Amino acid sequence: MADPDHSAIVSEFDRHVREHFSYLETEYGFIPCPQRISDINEPRDASVSIRYKTETVTVQIGVSVIGAGIAVNIKSENWFDAQENRRVKWVSLDSVVAFRTSGTASSLLHELTSTRRKYWPQGFLLQNMGVAVQALASRLRQHAGDILNGDVSSFPDIAARENE
């Protein structure tokens, strides 16, 4: 059996992320990093991620090429400098949005498909990737401006709520 060709997904993901998250560079001074492709020939593990970095914060946008999900994670680059009981390295955009909206915002996956599938139907990811990436970029801008400016003081509270 031939290895699946995920090049269309990788290419489209890169294009959409670079387009919709470009404000990270122009408005917040982030530096774009090259895409990272992991396990591209592994049917269940293949993924692509793109990072944007500053000295204090990294934003990572990732997708499972089989369509199990698209996510944004935010990393504090100085997490180890925080008090030991306040150290939080990563938070997800979903966690930030839930925290900032008191849990009233639904997840992006729920908005894109009304069924809870383990994998999206054939072709679904390519058809809806632009909408998904645009929605994630918009949510990041709307709910995480302070974090994008380097203020990660809310990370412990976000993580605590996530673990409730």
Q: How far apart are CA 95 and CA 22, in angstroms?
A: 22
Q: Which amino acid is at 63?
A: V
Average pLDDT rounded to a whole number, residues 150-156: 93
pTM of the full predicted structure? 0.83
Average pLDDT rounded to a whole number, residues 100-126: 62
- Strand ranges (E), the chain: 31-32, 36-38, 47-53, 57-64, 70-76, 90-92
Higher pLDDT, 110 or 56: 56
pLDDT of residue 140: 94
